[in-house]
Chains A and B, each alone.
With several copies, the nearest count.
Chain A
Amino acid sequence: MYSEKVMDHFQHPRNMGEIEDASGVGTVGNAKCGDIMRMYLDIDDDGIIQDVKFKTFGCGAAVATSSMATELVKGKNIQEALQVTNKAVMEALDGLPPVKVHCSLLAEEAIHAALWDYAEKHGIKIEGLKKPKSDIHEGEEDEEEEY
């Protein structure tokens, strides 16, 4: 069902945990399945993501995309981090089954939520970042019709 890369990130999640006094923390829930992801960002004065951690209550794909997403944003600047879409995460994982595409959105949204929190805390505005919904339920692949 899952690619080897997904299984690898699921079995050995990178950057799992918390950051105390993080610069930004974002938690999002998935209306579709009820799963939840929390992302912690440590952003330095130059706007570089020095550290990132996640916690996830979710399926295998959710864990793997969390893990991969943290790897993709670590060391990047904020604008670069905003480019880490769910598509990018899925590609880096060699794809996900159609029914699991929505899980990858959790990761994207959790990063956005954490960046939003960072922006609010620091009273800045991040170009191109919209206020994250606390529940995400859009952009999934069309499911099969019901018969």
Chain B
Amino acid sequence: MKKVIYLDNAATTRTAPEVVDAMLPYFTEYYGNASTIYELGGSSKKAMNEARETIAGILGAQENEIYFTAGGSESDNWALKATAEAYRAKGNHIITSKIEHHAVLHTCEYLEKNGFEVTYVDVDENGKIKLGELEKAIRPTTILISVMFANNEIGTIQPIREIGEIAHKHGILFHTDAVQAFGQLPINVDEYHIDMLSASGHKLNGPKGIGFLYIRKGVKIRSFIHGGAQERKRRAGTENIPGIVGFGVAAKRAAETMQERTAKEIALRDHLIDRVLKEVPYTRLNGDRTDRLPNNANFSFQFIEGESMLIMLDMEGICGSSGSACTSGSLDPSHVLLAIGLPHEIAHGSLRLTLSEETTLEDIDFVVDTIKGIVGRLRDMSPLYED
């Protein structure tokens, strides 16, 4: 088999072997339901509490402010819908940005159909939210501001502390979708005035199908999934113990290795960006040059189209993406790239490469060389390119 260079870590990551090892006993040995009274269930409960403690510790939060969910999308849906419901008496206005993940945007559209008003604040050409516009959008009826910590496509990190301060100043709840940031960037919910925060296990070498929503004590959000008394009666469903344990280990691992790992990723990322911009003409980098996720590079290659590029890269063993994975199947160009001002046909030729701790300098050099060849071939084929 050909060597695979996996550069789509923003879509999902390889579950770390030690994460899998930590999960294994909870499938076949300590498989008890955590809500039971007998010892077998006690082991599950203990393991779950440990994971909760780890995660709370990383965020500077309390254990009982971490609620496990099935992933980032559920967390986002929960945060938005159930807050909207709980605070409806106070107002019906929500502020978010134009470049949120669909889990936030489509939920906002759903809320709009149900009597809420949503302001989608613009971003600048680097994908940073316009703080002035954000503050101006605030109304007496504004109940929630939801802005992602870092963008999944172009990697831009938002000024979360400033947004938190604005929300705080106006007495408005602040939710952040930190699905891409948790485990990659240091986050402290108090410093950043975050009231709710979404994260997902599979983005940091944890398992798929597990996430959490941090809810600051005192926030009167409702349940989203009703039923049993799990998660302090706020999120029903038999606890996914292996998933929770795996998430805990992955979070711990990500926090412990963060500094060293991201320093290495940043160096490789910058090498990738520098070489591509220098060696491939008619190319631009999308997203902020410095305030960007350590492992994210996003390019637009003029005159060519993304899918063709991805297939050709795959034939060379390189996994990348164009737009975000969850919108593939959709033909529209990325709403994020349009929001930063790219015209349709340029947005179409974009390539996202997201590194992992396993990426090497040789990988990156091979990828750049391959890209050069592919871009050349596709441009030759393109009716838009005249040289």
Query: Residues on A close to B: CB < 8 A?
Result: 1-2, 7, 10-11, 13, 16, 27, 32-38, 55-60, 62-63, 99, 102, 144, 146-147
Interface: B234 (CB within 8 A): yes
A-B pairs with beta carbons under 8 Å apart, 29 shown: A1-B42, A10-B311, A27-B383, A32-B331, A33-B332, A33-B348, A34-B345, A35-B305, A36-B345, A36-B383, A37-B383, A38-B383, A55-B382, A55-B383, A56-B382, A57-B303, A57-B304, A57-B381, A58-B305, A60-B307, A62-B305, A63-B381, A99-B329, A99-B331, A102-B331, A144-B232, A146-B233, A147-B222, A147-B223
Cβ-defined contact, A59 with B307, below 8 A? yes
Task: Determine the chain A residues whose CB is within 8 A of the CB of B305 once the complex forms.
Answer: 35, 57-59, 62
A14 CB to closest chain B CB (Å) equals 12
Interface: B308 (CB within 8 A): yes
Specify which of A1, A55, A147 is in contact with B381 (CB 8 Å cutoff). Answer: A55
* Proximity bits, B214-245, A CB within 8 Å = 1, else 0: 00000001110000000011100000000000
Count B-side interface residues using an 8 Å CB cutoff. 27
Cβ-defined contact, B308 with A58, below 8 A? yes
Interface: B344 (CB within 8 A): yes
Interface: B384 (CB within 8 A): yes
Cβ-defined contact, B42 with A57, below 8 A? no
B105 CB to closest chain A CB (Å) equals 14
Task: Determine the chain B residues whose CB is within 8 A of the CB of A58 once the complex forms.
Answer: 305, 308
Chain A's closest residue to B221 (CB) is A147
Q: Which residues of B from 342 to 387 have beta carbons under 8 Å from A?
A: 344-345, 348, 380-384
Interface: B1 (CB within 8 A): no
Cβ-defined contact, A57 with B344, below 8 A? no
Cβ-defined contact, A57 with B383, below 8 A? yes
Interface: B333 (CB within 8 A): yes
Cα of A43 to Cα of B228 in the assembled complex, Å: 48
Cβ-defined contact, B233 with A147, below 8 A? yes
Cβ-defined contact, B333 with A59, below 8 A? no
Cβ-defined contact, B308 with A59, below 8 A? yes
Task: Determine the chain A residues whose CB is within 8 A of the CB of B348 once the complex forms.
Answer: 33-35
Cα of A127 to Cα of B231 in the assembled complex, Å: 46
